[in-house]
Amino acid sequence: MYEIPVNKKGTINTKKLFAQLHSSAKSVSVVSVPTPSTQTNKKYNADTQYSMLQDIINLQLDKIKLQDNIAYVIIKLMYDNGLRVSEVLNISYYDILPNGNILIKGLKKSNNRIIFSTEFKEFFNNCKKHFITPFNGYDRFYIYRILKSFNISIKTKNSSKNSVTHSFRHLYIHNLKSVDIDLKTIQQQVGHKSIKNTANYGK
């Protein structure tokens, strides 16, 4: 619950409201994380990798929320909707629609789409009402450092590097594929221009 600060004249103090919405300190500390056992089998197993990632995320979300509530909102939107970090950070109060809907503007030539967030409906409605850009002052590098500190990343089959902020998008698509959602539907969900891009995820 966010209390709306009001001046003596009865007008809303937008400066204090903005500070209240972004009150969490942006300090990233190194967190001791219980890491799942590594595979002894050298053969890559996608299901095992994604299961381990899912377990780590579920274990760490509440801790992230305690450390930085706004960063938690960003990360949870990525987790729930398979969004790129840049797509979340790019949300403006113009993109907040009635009934909790949020317009996600597709980046990297991807398509626009609409998501719904019951959990953060009040937060976004307040941002809309007071013309506040939800994640002003946050950037991808800060979110990257938080996720790294909580050991959230995944090494996909065709990459030599671990995906960190993009790990949620990989996990989201993998989970949809694992319950036999067709590629065309997944493509529309994540906004890919090409279905070939969608096919390369979740491996």
More confident call, 110 vs 90: 90
Q: Let me know if residue 8 belongs to a domain.
A: no
Digit-coded pLDDT (tens) for 59-109: 999 999 999 999 999 999 999 999 999 999 999 999 999 877 999 998 777
Contact 106, 83 (CB under 8 A): no
Does 22 map to a domain? Answer: no
Select the more confidently predicted residue: 193 or 64: 64
Q: What are phi and psi of 162, to 5 degrees?
A: -75, 140
What's residue 14's pLDDT? 52
Strand, coil or helix: 162? strand
Please give the single-letter amino acid code of residue 33: V
Higher pLDDT, 200 or 192: 192
CB neighbour burial string for 108-142, b if at least 16 within 10 angstroms, e if fewer? eebeebebebeebeebbebbbeeebbbbeebeeeb
pTM passes above 0.95:
no
- The reply to whether 6 falls in a domain is no
Please report the pLDDT score of residue 19 as a whole number. Answer: 55
Q: What is the largest CA-CA distance in the chain?
A: 68
Establish if 28 belongs to a structural domain: no
Total structural domains within the chain: 1
The answer to whether residue 12 sits within a structural domain is no
Identify whether 7 is part of a domain. Answer: no
Number of H helices, E strands in the chain: 9, 4
> What pLDDT score was predicted for residue 44?
58
Evaluate if residue 1 carries a pLDDT over 50: no
Does residue 78 sit within a domain? Answer: yes
In the numeric block, the tokens 């970090």 are attached to 85
- Residue 127, domain CATH: 1.10.443.10
Residues 39 and 95: their CA atoms lie apart, in Å, by: 43
pLDDT tens figures, 11-47? 545 555 555 555 544 444 444 454 443 444 444 577 8
| Domain limits for position 179 | 45-199
Q: What is the pLDDT of residue 102?
A: 95
pLDDT in tens, 128-163: 999 999 999 999 999 999 999 999 998 877 666 788
| Residue 33 maps to a domain | no
